[in-house]
A and B are shown apart, each in its own frame.
Chain A
Amino acid sequence: MRKGDCQGKTPIVMAEGENEVRWDGLCSRDSATRETALENIRQVVLRKAEGLRSVKETPSCPSDGLSNTASLDELNKLLVHLLMLSKRCPFKDVREKSEFILKSIQELGIRIPRPLGHGPSRFIPEKEILQVGSEDARMHTLFEESFAALGRLDNITLVMVFHPQYLESFLKTQHYLLQMDGPLPLHYRHYIGIMAAARHQCSYLVNLHVNDFLHVGGDPKWLNGLENAPQKLQNLGELNKVLAHRPWLITKEHIEGLLKAEEHSWSLAELVHAVVLLTHYHSLASFAFGCGISPEIHCDGGHTFRPPSVSNCCICDITNGNHSVEETQVNSAGNVSVSDSFFEVEALMEKMRQLQECRDEEEASQEEMTSRFEMEKRESMFVFSSDDEEVTPARDVSRHFEDTSYGYKDFSRHGMHVPTFRVQDYCWEDHGYSLVNRLYPDVGQLIDEKFHIAYNLTYNTMAMHKDVDTSMLRRAIWNYIHCMFGIRYDDYDYGEINQLLDRSFKVYIKTVVCTPEKVTKRMYDSFWRQFKHSEKVHVNLLLVEARVQAELLYALRAITRYMT
């Protein structure tokens, strides 16, 4: 019976060779190259569509059903990609031509996809986010570079472009980590990205990297679960787990276990590469949830072939792991009273001013300072959103990691005492940088730049106020995150955190950093109500980088200890 199938299939299979679609030509900066690539795509798509139609019109061979769906799937894949290009390509000619191709396909009577959802982020209204095509010269070059590297402009890029300075550094680092010289093979890198993102059930990143993983020639079998991957990667699972949720528990035994595992052992350079990738993707998952990134147009859940009339019930499809149930019930808490939130900003500014002035007057004693840190640490455990219910992760994501029950647990909750990590004894600038740069050259520099940009980024504005020195606020956020990981700065008065960060903000920070999958739109809306979206994205950047640094510090310290 199968044989018969094949017989019917032959003409299509034959055509396959010449029907190979090559997307890489579109990434070229040369418009003529893009033109020819597009023309080629157009012909392939039209040929496929024609072929499909002719099959449909001759219903003589019923056995064709199977191959028919297969080729329909194939065509749909192309159409979805074209849809993505028509919306998200930095080159105007490609956008227009892709749309034109889609139109002409539609005229052939074939259903074409349309994007779902409301732009790159579910938290930020689409009109607030930069439209592709209206960017300035600097952003355009960024987009072009990103597109050239990955063949797409992802939603994360579109949200981060609020802060082009950071985005540039971020893309450069990510590009280096994933595509440039490094100790790990390309498919390993994407697989590690998948492992890391899966720890937080971030289906957005998992989907993205599953595509990339297959694209660079990864074995599809590995995607069925970590137990199908090589032993070497399985060994990394434990480190991934600890690093994601309780990095303070990493010891040099973890490192030793990975480095001395007979034929499955990691080299130091590989390990550092893996650690950097893991921290990068843990934190990126935080960002994706923290900003409510929508699924990519060309990934599952980013598009639909259904006609627009039924769109209302589709919203729940695109949850990206977040609970967006309450999102549809347009939340009323967000716009309670403008005066209320206006007062919020004023109060915050007033507090900053006070802290600035009275700092020298009353000096807290040492014991006081220590207890303030401990208190902040302890208190951070209890700041958890009220809607803290257990979630069962989406099926397809959960298969990438085992031990789903392992999550963020606060240090001393179970009576286990973990010594405070003191930055003055092991800091990124002095120690971490040197170690990374030694084992994985150039990456230390790139990450260092990224930290600097994220930490020092400021436009001297706060909501509607201009010329504000926000360094104190930024430092408070940064140190609060490190405090949650048990990292202490000797020279910081943790009382400031209490003054500057209100409860709803702390809840948001804590959730994004520790259990990002539980972030809801309500949380996003309820903190800093008067602030701009770009400022909230800025906060997220701080969270991302502070988290990367915290995890890196613990991992690198363990490696250092192993080495000495």
Chain B
Amino acid sequence: MEKMSRVTTALGGSVLTGRTMHCHLDAPANAISVCRDAAQVVVAGRSIFKIYAIEEEQFVEKLNLRVGRKPSLNLSCADVVWHQMDENLLATAATNGVVVTWNLGRPSRNKQDQLFTEHKRTVNKVCFHPTEAHVLLSGSQDGFMKCFDLRRKDSVSTFSGQSESVRDVQFSIRDYFTFASTFENGNVQLWDIRRPDRCERMFTAHNGPVFCCDWHPEDRGWLATGGRDKMVKVWDMTTHRAKEMHCVQTIASVARVKWRPECRHHLATCSMMVDHNIYVWDVRRPFVPAAMFEEHRDVTTGIAWRHPHDPSFLLSGSKDSSLCQHLFRDASQPVERANPEGLCYGLFGDLAFAAKESLVAAESGRKPYAGDRRHPIFFKRKLDPAEPFAGLASSALSVFEMEPGGGSMGWFVDTAERYALAGRPLAELCDHNAKVARELGRNQVAQTWTMLRIIYCSPGLVPSANLNHSMGKGSACGLPLMNSFNLKDMTPGLGSETRLDRSKGDTRSDTVLLDSSATLVTNEDNEETEGSDVPADYLLGDVEGEEDELYLLDPDHTHPEEPECVLPQEAFPLRHEIVDTPPGPEHLQDKADSPHVSGSEADTISLAPMDSSFSLLSVSHALYDSRLPPDFFSVLVRDMLHFYAEQGDVQMAVSVLIVLGDRVRKDIDEQTQEHWYTSYIDLLQRFRLWNVSNEVVKLSTSRAVSCLNQASTTLHVNCSHCKRPMSSRGWVCDRCHRCASMCAVCHHVVKGLFVWCQGCSHGGHLQHIMKWLEGSSHCPAGCGHLCEYS
């Protein structure tokens, strides 16, 4: 059938010619439709109904169908459609609810053929059957769709949309009996023309009215819908549930959508309000239109591709009373002007950004990115052969690397793992953490911990050796010196910032310039390219993914070993802990409070250690003499925390915050605290320190943070026999009425810790399975799967 129509519709094999042109109509157009010979177009509106011939250079008015003495509402058209089989047949939908058919073959001046007055409200859409000569479908505001046989006086069947207004109806091009209808409440329905009693399928496609839909001319079951929610969605209707394949976000409500012939992924849209342009989208690239036609001065109301097999001619009618023919090659292509841009910060301090070439080139002292790097970075880009995204505007990619060794974040990981944050008296915590910091060679941090201990705890408890030691160090590199502090020991944020600055004029900085020719090469090669020898073809979207690979391939920074007990802990969330969390770390407070009491009475040092002019001696004096309450220092401690956070060492800020708990919390505003917490947790998670991050979450007092580990705690389980989801909470599967969690080793029901293989889903008591797998690598259930336990 399709072959035949191709042969008959093509212009005798000749190629369509023409140019971008427009003509003025007398009145705003509501809809247009093209004759199958691709040489005529009909324009309909409230007070216009004309046929124009499309000639090489211009539109020529051929026929005015609006005849008669008095203007009738029957001629006020909301929609018009030209039959794709019969050149003489047209149908219009009138705003007063009348469906009119027109026969151009009639000898009289009035070409009106039939009048169907069955709809009670405005008819929004009419549609001819693609292959059947006499079948016409209409959809109306009154919520009904009617199917007419043009040989009869009234409708053959009526389809009810349950009193929701119908906005569009479209016969499927491939399935003879199927049509789709879209509704004002956001639903799309599929109907079988033979079964008017109920729809075959219904689903909610959009939020708010669905204004239009269009079946893909080639891909069976692909339906594009456009709605008031500014989206165009492409649905695959062949599966038993309509699946959303693509979604294009436009800037205004979508009034019409039309697939572009011969281009599988292209569709054209126009808007109902505000935006006057016509866009052609590649559905796989949903943010930047592939082409844009900007001729109209008011909203475009009708679009049609001139010929079903020619992708380059688009016709459009508009409220600005003009009819346009657009040529694809004359379209403006926003993609060409859109430079891929991006900025990403690597885990180990590397920085990559892509920007417009001219911007990057403008800076002097740059060298193009070359392969002389110590740690090769592999650029990877998947290329889809079908993607016609060539001809992009090119951008330059710059990568700044950390100095090897200097950028190691080993100290961060070590610190995170070894710090004690709760569970012991404050003094012990401080001492412990000071020790950790010292061992990692971070003397300033160690000193800070010691000072905190002095401020908040009874001085008598401080081992003098320890105090002296840290104080001695402290006076060597006291706080006022901080700004000139050795870069290597500095906090990561500061370090990388300076590094960034440095790299601007540095010979070590690497820049890769990409040009379109390189892009073409890689496109043709269709291979993954290695950054070290070939300039990579870089796209914005890929930059982000890059970072993962970056450190995975990095030989020096092998990942901190994954904590082994992660899985069991995660898999069996302890209920009571979750309940406990919101009130905050009570146990911490309880324990931390006791030293606090003693501390307040003995009181502590003055400002002295913070001030460089004071000697160590005066510190010890102050230790015993002054009677300043710890509150006195809260301002100082607060400033100290801010200082660390500002330097990028959010780890220190958060750790101190947790350890000191209520003592400082009230001095720092909630938002800042939350900000620190989230940054620290984010960092921990990027280093895959799940346990530490969870501990921090648990210990945090900020409500927004502490609820982080309470999300998605649900575990969905399938029955091991029937493989269906276990819906009830009990031990027995609803469907097969068997106990779901049987131990594969002892064949008893498992209550308590249950471990199972994610490969074959067999499992049992933790102990049993552990024992079993020590001796055998096969699944205890005998399914032959090689289970692994780690």
Bound Cα distance from A51 to B121, whole angstroms: 71
CB distance from A494 to the nearest CB of B (A): 12
A424 x B46 contact (CB < 8 A): yes
A490 x B96 contact (CB < 8 A): yes
- Residue B74 lies at the interface, judged by CB distance under 8 Å to chain A: yes
Give 1 or 0 for each of B240-262: 1 = CB within 8 Å of chain A CB: 00000000000011010000000
Known: A424-B122, A429-B209. A560 touches B273 (CB 8 A): yes
CB distance from B584 to the nearest CB of A (A): 20
CB neighbors of B among A416-443 (8 A): 422, 424-425, 429-431, 433-435, 438
The residue of chain A having its C-beta at the shortest distance from the C-beta of B76 within the complex is A490
**Residues of A with C-beta under 8 A to B95:** 422, 424, 490-491
Instruction: List the one stretch of A127-135, A225-233, A253-261, A362-370 in contact with chain B.
Output: A362-370
Interface residues of B, dominant DSSP: loop
B211 x A424 contact (CB < 8 A): no
The one of A366, A438, A491, A560 in contact with B141, judged by C-beta atoms closer than 8 angstroms, is: A491
CB neighbors of A among B284-314 (8 A): 297-299
**Residues of B with C-beta under 8 A to A366:** 70, 72-74, 96
A564 x B117 contact (CB < 8 A): no
Bound Cα distance from A369 to B119, whole angstroms: 16
**Residues of B with C-beta under 8 A to A564:** 276, 297-299
**Residues of B with C-beta under 8 A to A438:** 252, 273-274
The one of A359, A367, A369, A435 in contact with B273, judged by C-beta atoms closer than 8 angstroms, is: A435
- Residue A1 lies at the interface, judged by CB distance under 8 Å to chain B: no
Give 1 or 0 for each of B262-285: 1 = CB within 8 Å of chain A CB: 000000000011101000000000
**Residues of A with C-beta under 8 A to B298:** 564
CB distance from A469 to the nearest CB of B (A): 11
Bound Cα distance from A369 to B72, whole angstroms: 10
- Residue A358 lies at the interface, judged by CB distance under 8 Å to chain B: no
- Residue A61 lies at the interface, judged by CB distance under 8 Å to chain B: no
- Residue A563 lies at the interface, judged by CB distance under 8 Å to chain B: yes
CB distance from A271 to the nearest CB of B (A): 15
Give 1 or 0 for each of B83-119: 1 = CB within 8 Å of chain A CB: 0000000000011110000000000000000000101
**Residues of A with C-beta under 8 A to B299:** 564
- Interface residue tally for chain B (C-beta within 8 Å): 32
B274 x A563 contact (CB < 8 A): yes
Known: A363-B117, A433-B228. A491 touches B97 (CB 8 A): yes
**Residues of B with C-beta under 8 A to A445:** 208
**Residues of B with C-beta under 8 A to A422:** 46, 95
A435 x B117 contact (CB < 8 A): no
CB distance from B773 to the nearest CB of A (A): 54
Bound Cα distance from A430 to B210, whole angstroms: 10
Bound Cα distance from A435 to B119, whole angstroms: 29
Bound Cα distance from A438 to B251, whole angstroms: 9
The residue of chain A having its C-beta at the shortest distance from the C-beta of B73 within the complex is A366
CB distance from B751 to the nearest CB of A (A): 40
**Residues of B with C-beta under 8 A to A434:** 228, 252-253, 272-274
The residue of chain A having its C-beta at the shortest distance from the C-beta of B94 within the complex is A490
**Residues of B with C-beta under 8 A to A433:** 208, 228, 253
- Residue B120 lies at the interface, judged by CB distance under 8 Å to chain A: yes
- Residue B416 lies at the interface, judged by CB distance under 8 Å to chain A: no
The residue of chain B having its C-beta at the shortest distance from the C-beta of A366 within the complex is B72
A430 x B122 contact (CB < 8 A): no
The residue of chain B having its C-beta at the shortest distance from the C-beta of A563 within the complex is B274
- Residue B184 lies at the interface, judged by CB distance under 8 Å to chain A: yes
The residue of chain A having its C-beta at the shortest distance from the C-beta of B320 within the complex is A564
**Interface hub of A367, A425, A563 (most chain B Cβ within 10 A):** A425
**Residues of B with C-beta under 8 A to A431:** 272-273
CB distance from A380 to the nearest CB of B (A): 21
A430 x B96 contact (CB < 8 A): no
The residue of chain A having its C-beta at the shortest distance from the C-beta of B165 within the complex is A429
Bound Cα distance from A445 to B255, whole angstroms: 18
**Residues of A with C-beta under 8 A to B208:** 433, 445, 448
**Residues of A with C-beta under 8 A to B97:** 490-491
Bound Cα distance from A370 to B209, whole angstroms: 30
The residue of chain B having its C-beta at the shortest distance from the C-beta of A363 within the complex is B117
- Residue B78 lies at the interface, judged by CB distance under 8 Å to chain A: yes
CB distance from A268 to the nearest CB of B (A): 11
B96 x A491 contact (CB < 8 A): yes
**Residues of B with C-beta under 8 A to A369:** 73, 96
The one of B76, B253, B272, B274 in contact with A424, judged by C-beta atoms closer than 8 angstroms, is: B76
**Residues of B with C-beta under 8 A to A448:** 208
CB distance from A358 to the nearest CB of B (A): 13
A490 x B272 contact (CB < 8 A): no
**Residues of A with C-beta under 8 A to B70:** 366-367
Give 1 or 0 for each of A535-564: 1 = CB within 8 Å of chain B CB: 000000000000000000000000010011
CB distance from B410 to the nearest CB of A (A): 46
Bound Cα distance from A359 to B274, whole angstroms: 39
Known: A363-B117, A491-B96. A430 touches B273 (CB 8 A): yes
**Residues of A with C-beta under 8 A to B76:** 424, 490
CB neighbors of B among A424-483 (8 A): 424-425, 429-431, 433-435, 438, 445, 448
Bound Cα distance from A369 to B117, whole angstroms: 14
CB distance from A453 to the nearest CB of B (A): 13
**Residues of A with C-beta under 8 A to B255:** 430
**Residues of A with C-beta under 8 A to B72:** 366
Bound Cα distance from A359 to B184, whole angstroms: 25
Give 1 or 0 for each of B718-744: 1 = CB within 8 Å of chain A CB: 000000000000000000000000000
**Residues of B with C-beta under 8 A to A435:** 273-274
B78 x A424 contact (CB < 8 A): yes
Give 1 or 0 for each of B329-345: 1 = CB within 8 Å of chain A CB: 00000000000000000
**Residues of A with C-beta under 8 A to B209:** 429-430
B184 x A429 contact (CB < 8 A): yes
The one of B121, B253, B276 in contact with A491, judged by C-beta atoms closer than 8 angstroms, is: B121
CB distance from A183 to the nearest CB of B (A): 17
CB distance from B228 to the nearest CB of A (A): 6
The residue of chain B having its C-beta at the shortest distance from the C-beta of A434 within the complex is B273
CB distance from B92 to the nearest CB of A (A): 13
Bound Cα distance from A382 to B211, whole angstroms: 40
**Residues of A with C-beta under 8 A to B211:** 430
**Residues of A with C-beta under 8 A to B74:** 366
**Residues of B with C-beta under 8 A to A563:** 274
The residue of chain A having its C-beta at the shortest distance from the C-beta of B253 within the complex is A434
**Residues of B with C-beta under 8 A to A491:** 95-97, 119-122, 141
The one of A359, A363, A429, A490 in contact with B73, judged by C-beta atoms closer than 8 angstroms, is: A490
CB distance from B605 to the nearest CB of A (A): 40
The residue of chain A having its C-beta at the shortest distance from the C-beta of B72 within the complex is A366
CB distance from B145 to the nearest CB of A (A): 16
The residue of chain A having its C-beta at the shortest distance from the C-beta of B298 within the complex is A564
Bound Cα distance from A430 to B209, whole angstroms: 8
The residue of chain B having its C-beta at the shortest distance from the C-beta of A560 within the complex is B273
**Residues of A with C-beta under 8 A to B73:** 366, 369-370, 490
Bound Cα distance from A431 to B70, whole angstroms: 29
**Interface hub of B70, B209, B253 (most chain A Cβ within 10 A):** B253
CB distance from B131 to the nearest CB of A (A): 31
CB distance from A124 to the nearest CB of B (A): 32
Bound Cα distance from A128 to B141, whole angstroms: 38
* Sample of 26 A–B contacts (CB below 8 Å): A359-B120, A363-B117, A366-B70, A366-B73, A366-B96, A369-B73, A370-B73, A424-B46, A424-B122, A425-B46, A429-B184, A429-B228, A430-B209, A430-B255, A430-B273, A431-B273, A433-B228, A434-B228, A434-B273, A434-B274, A435-B274, A438-B274, A448-B208, A490-B95, A491-B141, A564-B297
Complex A-B, nearest 6 residue pairs according to Cβ-Cβ distance, in ascending order: A490-B95, A434-B273, A424-B95, A366-B72, A434-B253, A490-B96
Interface residues of A (CB under 8 A from B): 359, 363, 366-367, 369-370, 422, 424-425, 429-431, 433-435, 438, 445, 448, 490-491, 560, 563-564
Other than the given A369-B96, A422-B95, 17 more pairs (CB < 8 A) read: A424-B78, A424-B95, A429-B228, A430-B255, A433-B208, A434-B253, A435-B274, A438-B273, A448-B208, A490-B122, A491-B95, A491-B121, A491-B141, A560-B273, A564-B276, A564-B298, A564-B299
